[in-house]
Amino acid sequence: GQQLNQSPQSMFIQEGEDVSMNCTSSSIFNTWLWYKQEPGEGPVLLIALYKAGELTSNGRLTAQFGITRKDSFLNISASIPSDVGIYFCAGQKGSNYQLIWGAGTKLIIKP
């Protein structure tokens, strides 16, 4: 099915570094959602964005709804070991069951 273009696919970073990932699409979305999934667990909602240009923070995480409504990014500042996991974006065009998912960004912290 249709997917969002999420990049990068994976990231190796040093503890303390800032992280940035994004999702883009050729379609316009009404809502953007960012999730984090740890091994063997269900995805956990991090941030929800509802308006073009909206910038929302959740602790060290900041996400923005692109002005064109076709993209969104997620930043993590000063990464720590517990940030490892897979981050997914999801865009919603209409009703709840029409979420379109990115393929995920796997965050790995170098020892």
Partner 1 sequence: SQTIHQWPATLVQPVGSPLSLECTVEGTSNPNLYWYRQAAGRGLQLLFYSVGIGQISSEVPQNLSASRPQDRQFILSSKKLLLSDSGFYLCAWSANEKLFFGSGTQLSVL
Please give the residue ranges that form the binding site for partner 1 (CB under 8 A). Answer: 1, 3, 30-31, 33, 35, 40-45, 48, 50, 88, 90, 92, 96-97, 99, 101-104
Question: Which CB atom, from 14 or from 97, has the smaller least distance to partner 1?
Answer: 97
CA distance linking residue 4 with residue 25, whole number of Å:
5
Per DSSP, what are the bridge partners of residue 56?
63
Contact 91, 31 (CB under 8 A): yes
Tell me the closest approach of the beta carbon of residue 110 to partner 1, in angstroms: 20
Tell me the closest approach of the beta carbon of residue 91 to partner 1, in angstroms: 11
Question: Which CB atom, from 66 or from 102, has the smaller least distance to partner 1?
Answer: 102
* Dihedral Cα 51, 55, 58, 60, nearest 10 deg: 160
